A and B are shown apart, each in its own frame.
Chain A
Amino acid sequence: MSDKKHGGRFVRRIAGKGRRAAEPSGDDLWESVQMARHAERPYTLDYITRMCSDFEEVHGDRLYGDDAALVAGFGRYHDRPVAFIGQQKGRDTKERTYRNFGMAGPEGYRKAMRVMEIANRLGIPVVTLIDTPGAFPGASAEERGQGGAISRSIQMMWRLDVPTIAVVIGEGSSGGALGLGVADRVLMLENGTYSVISPEGASAILWRDAGKARLAAQAFKPTAANCYRWGVVDAVVPEPEGGAHTDHEQAAEILDQYLHRALGDLDALPAADRKRARRDRFRRLGPLRDPEGGLGMAAGREIPPPG
């Protein structure tokens, strides 16, 4: 299929990125951070509407309210139902405010959990699209249990019996991203970033200077190639030449191919095997030094040199 078409290019690009990541140049990294946040970049609903023949969005967490920063619902995807959940950013000032810049509060994560529960009960796979600078930092969110909402969303994603795929489509920062990130397969778009914190946040905390975001990006190296090397993501999804923002249609088409194929792989596995693999996948992450166990758990992989 056309998988092949993108396959060759994909490998070449990754190899190239891997080489560069060995000697990271700050400008390259800053460029990818900017790319991940490009104002014209396709957002969650842009992908969903293009990949699904029909989509029914649901609203509200049934406890307090509806969070527009996180969209969730059921789509008709390749003639089957799939639950889609993802943070949603806005394109103009008005919509950005309405979407709270893609920063979800506890209501967002509880809505996500509500949809996951339905999907699990009905045997529908769950696909999450991650695109957020982080969960919303606000007093009201804290009062209604932001921390517990994220941890329970992580817990529920791990507990699901149905196949699950998470895709980092733009910026994935902090626990707000991971709240939707525990899946059988984690994919990441070529120009996405996935990090423990946004460069700005890190700059304020570690450098005690809000202006050091560039340095922070350089230190975190949160690119798709690196995340693949660390074992944090399983595959890097290529973007149209010049980035996803140049051609939404093609970006969605390529993601659709990867998603469809991953879903097919997961369908073939029994639920118990999937869950065991899901647990082991996250358990392996994070190298350390263990004198008893010999070498540290070498999570991740080396990129073979091209040619």
Chain B
Amino acid sequence: MSKVGRNIHVSVDRLRQLAHRDARPRKIKADAGTCPKCDSHYSADEMRRNLRVCPACGHHFPVTARERLEQLGEPGGYVELWGDLRAADPLQFTDLRPYTERIAEAEKSTGMGEAIVCAELEVRRAPAIAAVMDFTFMGGSMGAVVGEKFARACDYAAQKGVPLIVVAASGGARMQEGTLALMQMAKTVIALDALAEARVPVIVVLAHPTTGGVWASFASLGDITYAEPGALIAFSGPRVIEETTREVLPADFGRAERQLANGQVDAVVDRRELAERIGRVLHILRRPETDGTTGTAPPGLQWAQDGAQKVKSMMDRMRPGATDSGSGG
């Protein structure tokens, strides 16, 4: 609608508000009803139905782990695994506040036990194990519980012979668990190899943000790696880089689209197509029940051997003195 040549009646208040539009802080909250990009308003119900993607401009809002599982799974839902593991405080760590206090508060405000939720579910009728991180729980940081739940998810998926779906959203290792948090990087990377032994794939989805020790461990080791639009994917965040090297970074530094161009992810996938896309790739990668890996002789090889045998006996018959040719040596 063109505004040119028309009388527009706007209140002074509205004009003031518009004048400050760009100066407003761009904080994103999980339940915010206003799109920070295009200022469209949505009810909580609408947001949920739209998978927390702005229908007007496609902005991706953060999703909690449980809601993500609902989005990915079939309507039948999902079965949560190892939900009662809780963090310990090995360092008796205190920064501005004690670690135990921070954990208690995070549990209360998010209703979750830790920054990762593991579950058994079906994605577009393909059975899978999912390990979904939640940025609202202490920045999705990885401590001993996240490491252990992730490792158990790998073991369980391998044992069941079903793929693992990982949704990463994390600031990195959990500072409050110190050196032991760092060790979770090794623990998770090693655990992934259970899947390799069981020959099941791991699909990684990188949500905003995936940084630090999580990006530098399991999140960058997916067999197929998708990123959500606009997600920040980096080992060092832009603030750290700018402070350390005094570089001036482009606005889209580390964002999913740029990381696609850098060759760091396979595709940038809109959340509204994510479940479909994962379902499709799981379908493509599903091995038939009776291929060479399940113990019987690989049919292709058998076929080739039969052929070779035929050729050999044919040649034997053609050879002079063919009557003696029984040795097969």
Q: Chain A interface (Cβ within 8 Å of chain B)?
A: 135, 137-139, 141-148, 150-152, 154-155, 158-159, 174-175, 177-179, 181-182, 194-197, 201-202, 204-207, 215-216, 219-222, 226-227, 230, 232, 278-279, 282-283, 285-292, 296-297, 299-300
Contacts and interface: CB of A to CB of B under 8 A. Distances in A.
Contacts of B281: none
What is the interface of chain A mostly: helix, strand, loop, or mixed?
helix
Interface in B120-157: 143-145, 147-148, 151
A151 B218 contact: yes
Contacts of B38: none
Given A178-B185, A201-B240, A221 B235 contact: no
Nearest to B233: A147
A196 B175 contact: yes
A146 B247 CA distance: 17
B90 A282 contact: no
15 contacts: A137-B236, A138-B236, A138-B244, A138-B247, A142-B235, A145-B263, A148-B216, A175-B217, A196-B178, A204-B243, A232-B179, A283-B187, A286-B144, A288-B143, A289-B87
Nearest to A230: B180
B221 interface: yes
Interface stretch (B12-20, B55-63, B67-75, B91-99): B91-99
Contacts, number: 200
Nearest to A282: B186
B65 interface: no
Given A137-B240, A154-B189, A197-B175, A219 B235 contact: no
Given A148-B264, A178-B185, A282-B186, A299 B180 contact: yes
B179 A296 contact: no
B220 A147 contact: yes
Contact of B245 (A138, A194, A196): A138
A293 to B, nearest CB: 9
Interface string B71-113: 0000000000000111110110111100000000000000000
A203 B218 CA distance: 26
B120 to A, nearest CB: 17
B182 interface: yes
Interface of B: 84-88, 90-91, 93-96, 143-145, 147-148, 151, 173-175, 177-187, 189-193, 212-213, 215-221, 233-236, 240-241, 243-245, 247, 249, 253-254, 262-264
B94 A219 contact: yes
Contact of B219 (A147, A177, A279, A300): A147
Given A155-B189, A202-B175, A219-B91, A137 B183 contact: no
Given A152-B221, A219-B93, A195 B179 contact: yes
Contacts of B193: 155, 158-159
A194 B179 contact: yes
B187 A286 contact: yes
B220 to A, nearest CB: 4
Contacts of B173: 174-175, 196-197
Contacts of A196: 173-175, 177-179, 181-182, 213
A221 B216 contact: no
A291 B180 contact: no
Contacts of B96: 206-207
A255 B119 CA distance: 46
B205 to A, nearest CB: 15
A139 B249 contact: yes
B154 to A, nearest CB: 11
Given A175-B235, A220-B178, A282 B95 contact: no
B84 A282 contact: no
Contacts of B179: 194-196, 220, 222, 226-227, 230, 232
B178 A222 contact: yes
A142 B240 contact: no
Nearest to A292: B84
Nearest to B97: A206
Contact of A135 (B147, B180, B235): B235
B44 to A, nearest CB: 32
Contacts of B234: 142, 146-147
Given A155-B192, A286-B180, 16 more contacts: A135-B236, A138-B244, A145-B264, A148-B221, A151-B185, A154-B189, A175-B185, A178-B186, A196-B177, A219-B91, A220-B93, A222-B179, A232-B180, A286-B143, A288-B148, A296-B88
Contact of A145 (B184, B192, B236, B262): B262
B28 to A, nearest CB: 19
A206 B216 CA distance: 21
